[in-house]
Structure 1
Amino acid sequence: MPVQAGTLNITQPSTAPIGKSISWFQESQPLDMAAASQKYRHGVFKTSSHELLNFGIGSNPIWLAIEVKNDTEAPLLRRLSLKNSWLDKIHVYFLAHNRLIKEFQTGDMFPFHQRPIPDRYFDFDYPFPPGETLVLIRAATVEPMILPVFLTSPDQDYQRDLLEGYSYGLLYGGLSLLAAYNFLLFLSLKSARYFYYSAYLTAFLLLNITYTGHGYRWLWPNSPQWQFSSHFIFNLLFPFTGLLFALHFLDIKLAFPRLYHWVIWISTGCLSTIAGIIIVAHNYPLAISLILMFTQAYCIGMILLGVLSLRAGERAARFFLLGTVTHIVTSMFSILTVEALIPYSILGHRSAEIGLTIDALLLAFALADQFRTLNHQKMEALELAMLDPLTSMNNRRAFYWQTRPIWNNCIRKKRAMSLVMIDIDHFKRINDVFGHSYGDVVLKKVAQILMKEARTSDVAARWGGEEFVLFMGETSLPEAFSFAERIREKASNIRLTDGNKSLFFSVSIGVASVDYNVSDLDELIATADKSLYLAKKNGRNQVCTTQEATFELA
């Protein structure tokens, strides 16, 4: 038996790919097993120099020949594996002494239950007898002809599959939860970026389970046509959803509206063209080549969008760029591994998945950062909407918002409540004589007195113009009256100067407390306002109340 690629001794099985022990031949016209065997014996097959064999897109069917040697005196059960889930048709022949001993036929074009071993890859167990055995394999596919061939013990293959199964479980579980969480955020916040991020992750998951064989193994085992079509559909869907997410995540429509529409039109045109080639022309190799070109353009476009957004001051672009570059770099490692330009390793083979996982986590962090920033901005806007810009006190809106829960609590507990209404005396005259800037100073002084003297449980606000209000929970009328008198006295002791002019000012204060006749906050305010009017009517610079007594809440 001629030796072209070196006989593979299986006495001590290895988990490494056996590409360098393989000879290969590419069909120019269909061959059967007998014709292929004859070509091998005549030395037509070529020797492989790579651990993984890669014949590219649109390759004619490939024949592989492996000479296996069993040095023991008993049969050795070994598992031949082709770790590529998208091979359309596979024929495997085991020959001894130029006689066919056993053959298998399987592939993606056949229902899953016809596989000799129910695995997402193509596995064949065979008890190699003592001596030499020739294994011939014919592989055909319209997709990239990548042939990672392994010959191990069933137990070794099981252990490797078990480890990979755990890793895929973590990958799919984590990304599924992330996709579901962001979809729920979209439903709650109505923000498109969360929807497109969820769609982007979902598209990657669908693409991955299709190309790794998990989809055919668990979701559609009796649909070989869908298994074939899904590769093209999800290969188009993944970069398209990625672009849509990038456009919304980076706010390209707002920052670069013309670019936004160009990206949408060009990507839609590319997808339509590729879909037409698949549906109408059935030119699958051309479609795959165009998909790869579109994916490459997508990677470049993602980086350009990130750079433009970063230059435009978009904070989230930093995370986006880091994640995109990580994904592209790790994908290059996967390509280099498949092309056998670097030594084969599971880590290298799956580095693209690792890179996209890192990318997904960085983007999730960036979305969380955006959410936190937007929430902070909303809180700042709400806080500014609740503050009086001159005095930095609560405004009327904030007063109602903060007072309502205290009011309801005191009503429920039947506790006393009081309200103090303050007005600066002759404020118009201050503005006319000293100017509006001095009027602002007077307003700030009164605000400072009020905020300094008020308790932490009290709610103070500028009511409007030169009026201020203070709500005092669990405070009786005498206590509020005493507090108001202290405010009036402190205000009257303030002296402001403007050159040779000195300014003294005073305040009038009205006080009201909850009794049986006051059942609403606005009514309590109105009662305090009447008391303020009485103070002004009686000569200003005094504290008055229209209530003659304080009542307990029943």
Structure 2
Amino acid sequence: MHIRSGGRWPGRERALLAIMMIAMLAATPAMAQQVRLGAGSVVGVEPAQVGSTTTPELSPFADPASPLGRYALLLDEQPGQPLTLEQARAHLAAGDFRRSTVDIPNLGNRSPPRWLHFAIDNTQPAARDYRIYVAEGWTDRVDAWLIRAGEIRLHWQGGDERSPSHYLRPGIGFAFDASLPPGPSELFLRVDSVDSVALAPRIVALADASELEGAAQHWLGLVHGFLLALVVTYGLLWLTLRETSLLRYVAYVASYLYMHLAYSGIAAHALWPDSPAIGRFAILVGMTLFASSGIAFARQFLRMRQWAPRLDRTLAWLVRLALAAMAIFVVANAQGPAVDFAFAYIMAFTLLMVAFGVLGVRHRQDQAKLFLVASLISMIGAMVATLAVMGKLPFNAVTFRAIEIGVMTEASIWALALGLRLRRDREGRVRALQLAQHDPLTGLLNRRGFLDRALPALKTASSAATPLAVIMLDIDHFKSINDQHGHDAGDRTLVAVAECLRDLVSSDGLIARWGGEEFVILLPAMPQTEAVATAERLRARLADLTVILSDGREIRLTVSLGIAISTTATGLEDLLRQADDALYKAKQAGRNRAEIWAPLEMGAAE
């Protein structure tokens, strides 16, 4: 890769050049369009036909950094028959070059090398320095010749196969600097690449190049910062929650971030600046990883294993085979097949993602509509960018970046969907925990829920040296209620007692159905006298309670209560046993009464 200035043509070749120039002037005038450079302006010139009285059509570019492909003449080499500059000039003189019809000509996968010719007219009185942008950053080889009055003023060489980072402007492509003298000059470009590349030639005043490159770098910073934030945020979530869909989402976004770093040229500058062997496959590997991780995410997000197990297994094998195929291409240094495979795979992936969304909606899968919308946006973004490069849509910053905008929007929607799913799953776990710790009939805590909350309460009371009361309550003759009136009457009785307890016990107390017709109440900061008074209020209130049965009949009930007061040395198990012993004493004493646990009395009873 080098730049060569100077060097005159030998006499015989100069004569041949003069003949070719005369032939060019005699050729069809449609080829005489040119790019006219002025102070701060670039104008495309469409000259009038020979014999026409009309003046040339001038097309000033609103943006001096606009692509100039429409004002190029194109020639594709025959496969296996590379042309020299002299041969290309002969073809130009013979009228073999054709007019370009788009601002950004495209060189397809494994297409033969392409020549571009520009007629440049610098209308300024003195030479001026320009930066000439030639082709995208993954172009294999690109040569440029700047010719003035039959003299090669500059020969420049660049490309991914020569040096992935030299002359590469991240986010724009390969470029070289040249001083353009006043008057007419010719620019010949030869582009050779196995990968498909868009040719967006620009001629930008060197003083203005920083603005173009700065805007590109700012955009790249926005894209990469956004994607990195998603990777870090959801990566940390995965480390915390170990949710498979989070891991696959992180892999999908990270693979796109890597692919974008590779084809924007930033990775080449940072990781393989002078390693063509790496640059040859870096983007293709990224494309394969991106499509594979996207399919893996879709399988998990849409839960295909549940409603389409055969499709799920097929896709899993497809991803394995795709990764294995790309690995074989890399090891075998088979760039051509790798290019064909990677582009076909990623195009199929784009369509498959939309198809997955449609299938998910048809099978009424959770969040499948969001998945479909996100996939459609990504596909539309890719189509808009492709049509803009092809000249079917206006080429501007939005249309050219549409594929990046589409992928970022897709990633944002999927991030939102994952967040909603995580929230819903968390709420589901909370509901499951609620059911696991509550009695379904009365809505009170069950034994497990009570113990989980009572232990911290007892520990707090012990630390603060404050009393804590536990009351065991049992419905008297509950079996008789079931036997005489049925189990529905028993259930109604339990619910009525639970509601009464909720009304009478303070909000800082704990109430639980301990089992059967037995309830337990924990009252923090409750000395013995207040605990006894509370138990008596409960007994009296329940003695006045009337339970109305489904057939309109009414039943009355009484309860027995046992009270235990904690000390700093009392554990929860001992406290519950003491309250149960006191309850037994109340039962033995005739029921419908409250008893408090007394160590001496209980020891005598034992």
Structure 1 length as normaliser, TM-score? 0.94
Instruction: Tell me if the contact between 2:37 and 2:124 (Cα under 8 Å) persists in the aligned partners.
Output: no
Structure 1 CA distance for aligned equivalents of residues 358 and 311 of structure 2: 14
Match of 1:92 among 123, 128, 144: 144
Question: Kindly tell me: are residues 158 and 541 of structure 1, through their superposed partners in 2, closer, same or farther at Cα, counting changes over 3 Å?
Answer: same
- Paired residue for 2:317? 265
Structure 2 CA distance for aligned equivalents of residues 377 and 299 of structure 1: 33
Match of 2:563 among 492, 511, 514: 511
Match of 1:23 among 59, 66, 73: 73
- Paired residue for 1:460? 511
- Paired residue for 2:493? 442
Quick check: 1:185 aligned with 2:237? Answer: yes
Match of 1:63 among 115, 126, 139: 115
Structure 1 CA distance for aligned equivalents of residues 240 and 207 of structure 2: 49
Counterpart residue identity of residue 289, structure 1:
D
Structure 1 CA distance for aligned equivalents of residues 232 and 500 of structure 2: 53
Instruction: Tell me if the contact between 1:419 and 1:513 (Cα under 8 Å) persists in the aligned partners.
Output: yes
Counterpart residue identity of residue 194, structure 2:
V
Deviation at 1:311, TM superposition (A): 2.8
Counterpart residue identity of residue 293, structure 1:
A
Question: Kindly tell me: are residues 56 and 500 of structure 1, through their superposed partners in 2, closer, same or farther at Cα, counting changes over 3 Å?
Answer: closer
Instruction: Tell me if the contact between 2:170 and 2:265 (Cα under 8 Å) persists in the aligned partners.
Output: no
- Paired residue for 1:339? 390
Quick check: 1:248 aligned with 2:300? Answer: yes
Instruction: Tell me if the contact between 2:165 and 2:269 (Cα under 8 Å) persists in the aligned partners.
Output: no
Instruction: Tell me if the contact between 2:170 and 2:216 (Cα under 8 Å) persists in the aligned partners.
Output: no
- Paired residue for 1:374? 425
Moved more, 176-185 or 72-81: 176-185
Counterpart residue identity of residue 449, structure 1:
C
- Paired residue for 1:552? none
Deviation at 1:25, TM superposition (A): 1.1
- Paired residue for 2:523? 472
Deviation at 1:83, TM superposition (A): 4.2
Deviation at 1:40, TM superposition (A): 1.8
Moved more, 11-20 or 60-69: 11-20
Question: Kindly tell me: are residues 116 and 260 of structure 1, through their superposed partners in 2, closer, same or farther at Cα, counting changes over 3 Å?
Answer: closer
Quick check: 1:226 aligned with 2:253? Answer: no
Structure 1 CA distance for aligned equivalents of residues 283 and 168 of structure 2: 23
Question: Kindly tell me: are residues 130 and 505 of structure 1, through their superposed partners in 2, closer, same or farther at Cα, counting changes over 3 Å?
Answer: same
SS in 1 for 2:83: coil
Moved more, 92-101 or 293-302: 293-302
Deviation at 1:361, TM superposition (A): 0.5
Structure 1 CA distance for aligned equivalents of residues 32 and 319 of structure 2: 46
- Paired residue for 1:7? 34
Quick check: 1:361 aligned with 2:450? Answer: no
- Paired residue for 1:198? 250
Deviation at 1:34, TM superposition (A): 1.9
Moved more, 268-277 or 2-11: 268-277
Quick check: 1:418 aligned with 2:469? Answer: yes
Structure 1 CA distance for aligned equivalents of residues 300 and 392 of structure 2: 37
Structure 2 CA distance for aligned equivalents of residues 125 and 236 of structure 1: 35
Counterpart residue identity of residue 239, structure 2:
L
Instruction: Tell me if the contact between 1:5 and 1:23 (Cα under 8 Å) persists in the aligned partners.
Output: no
Instruction: Tell me if the contact between 1:117 and 1:124 (Cα under 8 Å) persists in the aligned partners.
Output: no
Structure 2 CA distance for aligned equivalents of residues 174 and 270 of structure 1: 28
Structure 2 CA distance for aligned equivalents of residues 118 and 249 of structure 1: 34
- Paired residue for 2:400? 349
Instruction: Tell me if the contact between 2:141 and 2:157 (Cα under 8 Å) persists in the aligned partners.
Output: yes
Correspondence 1:157-168 to 2 at 5 A: 157-168=209-220
SS in 1 for 2:366: coil
Instruction: Tell me if the contact between 1:52 and 1:339 (Cα under 8 Å) persists in the aligned partners.
Output: yes
Quick check: 1:137 aligned with 2:192? Answer: no
Structure 2 CA distance for aligned equivalents of residues 497 and 89 of structure 1: 92
Structure 1 CA distance for aligned equivalents of residues 382 and 85 of structure 2: 37
- Paired residue for 2:92? 40
- Paired residue for 2:60? none
Q: Which structure 1 segments of 5+ residues have no match?
A: 550-554
Moved more, 501-510 or 425-434: 501-510
Counterpart residue identity of residue 202, structure 1:
A
Structure 2 CA distance for aligned equivalents of residues 80 and 324 of structure 1: 37
Match of 2:447 among 370, 392, 396: 396
Moved more, 61-70 or 374-383: 61-70
Instruction: Tell me if the contact between 1:528 and 1:545 (Cα under 8 Å) persists in the aligned partners.
Output: yes
Question: Kindly tell me: are residues 283 and 420 of structure 1, through their superposed partners in 2, closer, same or farther at Cα, counting changes over 3 Å?
Answer: closer
Structure 1 CA distance for aligned equivalents of residues 287 and 297 of structure 2: 16
SS in 2 for 1:10: strand
Deviation at 1:493, TM superposition (A): 1.2
Counterpart residue identity of residue 408, structure 1:
K
Quick check: 1:121 aligned with 2:148? Answer: no
Question: Kindly tell me: are residues 118 and 352 of structure 1, through their superposed partners in 2, closer, same or farther at Cα, counting changes over 3 Å?
Answer: closer
- Paired residue for 1:308? 359
Structure 2 length as normaliser, TM-score? 0.86
